Amino acid sequence: MATLTKNPNVNKWVDEMIALCKPDKVVWIDGSKDQLDGLRAEAVSTGEMIKLNEEKLPGCLYHRTLPNDVARVEDRTFICSRKKEDAGPTNNWCDPKEMYAKLTPMYDGVMKGRTMYIIPYSMGPIGSPLAKVGVEVTDSIYVVLNMAIMTRMGADAFKNLGDTSDDFVRGLHSKADVDPEKRYIVQFPEDNTIWSINSAYGGNVLLGKKCFALRIASYQGKNEGWMAEHMLILGIEKPNGEIKYVTAAFPSACGKTNLAMLIPPEGYTKRGYKVWTVGDDIAWLKPGPDGRLYAINPENGFFGVAPGTNAHSNYNALASTRKNTIFTNVAINNDDMTVWWEKLDNNPPVNATEWKGEKVNGPEYVAAGNKLAHPNSRFTAPAENCPCISPEFNNPQGVPISAIIFGGRRAKTAPLVYQSFNWQHGTFVGSIMASETTAAATGAVGVVRRDPMAMLPFCGYHMGDYWAHWLEMGKILGDKAPKIFNVNWFRTDENGDFIWPGYGDNMRVLDWIIDRCEGTVDAVETPIGYEPKPEDINVEGLDGITTETIADLLSVDKDLWKEEAKGIGEFYQKFGDKLPKEMAKELSDLEARLSK
244, 274 contact by CB (below 8 A): no
Q: How far is the CB of 303 from ligand SPV (least distance, A)?
A: 5
Interaction residues for ligand SPV, span 223-262 (CB under 6 A) = 252
| Contact flag: residue 299 with Mn ion (CB under 5 A) | no
Do strands 168-174 and 193-197 pair parallel, antiparallel, or not at all (unpaired)?
parallel
Tell me whether residue 184 or residue 302 sits nearer to Mn ion (CB atom): 302
Strand partners, 51: 61
User: Catalytic site residue 60?
Assistant: no
- Among ligand GTP, Mn ion, ligand SPV, none, the one that 393 touches (CB under a kind-dependent 5 to 8 A) is none
Tell me whether residue 244 or residue 491 sits nearer to ligand GTP (CB atom): 491
Q: How far is the CB of 257 from Mn ion (least distance, A)?
A: 9
| Contact flag: residue 136 with Mn ion (CB under 5 A) | no
327, 377 contact by CB (below 8 A): yes
> Rounded CA gap, 70 and 204, in Å?
10
Tell me whether residue 258 or residue 431 sits nearer to ligand GTP (CB atom): 258
- Among ligand SPV, Mn ion, ligand GTP, none, the one that 209 touches (CB under a kind-dependent 5 to 8 A) is ligand SPV
> Rounded CA gap, 196 and 428, in Å?
33
- Among Mn ion, ligand SPV, ligand GTP, none, the one that 255 touches (CB under a kind-dependent 5 to 8 A) is ligand GTP
Q: How far is the CB of 305 from ligand GTP (least distance, A)?
A: 4
Q: How far is the CB of 297 from Mn ion (least distance, A)?
A: 12
Q: How far is the CB of 93 from ligand GTP (least distance, A)?
A: 24
- Among ligand GTP, Mn ion, ligand SPV, none, the one that 534 touches (CB under a kind-dependent 5 to 8 A) is none
Q: Pick from 281, 354, 392, 465: which binds ligand SPV (CB under 6 A)? A: 281
Q: How far from the centroid of its chain's Cα atoms is residue 28's Cα? A: 28
Tell me whether residue 305 or residue 403 sits nearer to ligand GTP (CB atom): 305
Q: How many residues bind Mn ion (CB under 5 A)?
A: 2
- Among Mn ion, ligand SPV, ligand GTP, none, the one that 170 touches (CB under a kind-dependent 5 to 8 A) is none
The HSE-up count of residue 537 (CA atoms within 13 Å, CB side) is 27
* E strand segments, 262-398: 274-279, 283-287, 293-296, 301-305, 326-328, 331-333, 338-340, 352-353, 359-360, 378-382
Q: How far is the CB of 282 from ligand SPV (least distance, A)?
A: 8
Interaction residues for Mn ion, span 209-268 (CB under 5 A) = 252
Q: How far is the CB of 202 from ligand SPV (least distance, A)?
A: 3
Distant-in-sequence, close-in-space partners of 570: CB < 8 Å, separation ≥ 6: none
Helices then strands, counting H and E runs in the chain, come out as: 18, 31
Stretch that binds ligand SPV, among 165-173, 203-211, 380-388, 471-479 (CB under 6 A): 203-211
Q: How far is the CB of 203 from ligand SPV (least distance, A)?
A: 2
Q: How far is the CB of 543 from ligand GTP (least distance, A)?
A: 15
- Among ligand SPV, ligand GTP, Mn ion, none, the one that 491 touches (CB under a kind-dependent 5 to 8 A) is none
Q: Kindly calculate the radius of gyration of the chain based on its CA atoms and give it in whole angstroms.
A: 23
State the burial class of residue 429 (Cβ atoms within 10 Å of its Cβ: 0-12, 13-18, 19+): buried
Please name which of 126, 395, 409 lies closest in space to residue 250, comparing C-alpha atoms.
409
Tell me whether residue 202 or residue 474 sits nearer to ligand SPV (CB atom): 202
Q: How far is the CB of 256 from ligand SPV (least distance, A)?
A: 8
> Rounded CA gap, 413 and 488, in Å?
9
| Contact flag: residue 303 with ligand SPV (CB under 6 A) | yes
Please name which of 574, 291, 229, 251 lies closest in space to residue 440, comparing C-alpha atoms.
251
| Contact flag: residue 209 with ligand SPV (CB under 6 A) | yes
Q: Pick from 86, 281, 299, 511: which binds Mn ion (CB under 5 A)? A: 281
| Contact flag: residue 536 with ligand SPV (CB under 6 A) | no
- Among ligand GTP, ligand SPV, Mn ion, none, the one that 64 touches (CB under a kind-dependent 5 to 8 A) is none
Catalytic annotation, pick one of 254, 388, 459, 517: 254
Tell me whether residue 203 or residue 308 sits nearer to ligand SPV (CB atom): 203
| Contact flag: residue 210 with ligand SPV (CB under 6 A) | yes
Tell me whether residue 174 or residue 247 sits nearer to ligand GTP (CB atom): 247
Strand partners, 249: 231, 406
| H/E element, 548 | helix 547-554
SS (H, E, C) 149-202: HHCEECCHHHHHHCCCCCCEEEEEEECCCCCHHHCEEEEEHHHCEEEEECCCCH
| Contact flag: residue 440 with ligand SPV (CB under 6 A) | yes
Tell me whether residue 209 or residue 450 sits nearer to Mn ion (CB atom): 209
Residues that bind ligand GTP (CB under 6 A): 250, 252-258, 280-281, 304-305, 307-308, 313, 440, 489-490, 498, 502-503, 506
Taking CB atoms, the residue at the shortest distance from ligand GTP is: 502
Task: Please tell me what DSSP assigns to residue 213.
Answer: I
Tell me whether residue 183 or residue 256 sits nearer to ligand GTP (CB atom): 256
Tell me whether residue 5 or residue 218 sits nearer to ligand GTP (CB atom): 218
| H/E element, 271 | helix 266-271
Stretch that binds ligand SPV, among 31-39, 132-140, 202-210, 443-451 (CB under 6 A): 202-210
Please name which of 379, 304, 295 lies closest in space to residue 340, comparing C-alpha atoms.
379
Please name which of 496, 286, 546 lies closest in space to residue 400, comparing C-alpha atoms.
286
Distances (CA, A) of 124 to 129, 157, 361, 443, 561: 9, 10, 44, 32, 40
435, 254 contact by CB (below 8 A): yes
| Contact flag: residue 202 with ligand SPV (CB under 6 A) | yes
> Rounded CA gap, 405 and 526, in Å?
18
Please name which of 247, 207, 205, 206 lies closest in space to residue 230, comparing C-alpha atoms.
247
Site residues for Mn ion per CB under 5 A: 252, 281
Residues tagged active-site: 254
Site residues for ligand SPV per CB under 6 A: 72, 202-203, 209-210, 252, 281, 303, 440
